[in-house]
Amino acid sequence: MVRIISSQPRKQRKARYQADAHERGSFLSAPLSKALRGQYGKRSFRVITGDTVKMTRGSSTGHEGLVDEVDTKHLKIWVHGVTGTKADGTEVPRPVDPSKVEIVKLNLKDPRRSTKLSGGEE
């Protein structure tokens, strides 16, 4: 995680915007559900495409869906079924902050991810 001594909001924002790629991964983590928390012994984990998440904040609270896309530059995720309405009435996917969702099912196709989740060193 980026370590900032200052408590000034402008410096906090600047550190997030200018963080290196490997540091941005920690900004894309979301809390695990209580069942997953008990199973894996971790409180939060990084969100990737294919995870199933449940919205915990906003107008879509309670909605569950797959993560369609993860944007590491803008630190946002797109959840299947979470949309916004444009002025002309068309529905468009709405980006969501990863801290506003809860992971309910993990995508464990990547062996490195499952090793890291189970407590193995990587």
Q: Where are the domains of the chain?
A: 10-116
How much is the pLDDT for 122? Answer: 55
Question: Whole-model pTM?
Answer: 0.87
Q: Cβ distance 106 to 48 under 8 Å?
A: no
Question: pLDDT tens digits, residue range 56-109?
Answer: 999 999 999 999 999 999 999 999 999 999 999 999 999 999 999 999 999 999
CATH of region 10-116: 2.30.30.30
Buried b (16+ CB within 10 A) or exposed e, 71-94: eeeebebbbeebeeeeeeeeeeee
Q: Closest Cα partner for 103 from 60, 49, 44, 63?
A: 44
Q: What is the per-residue pLDDT across 107-122, written as a single tens digit (0 to 9) for each?
A: 999 999 999 988 766 5
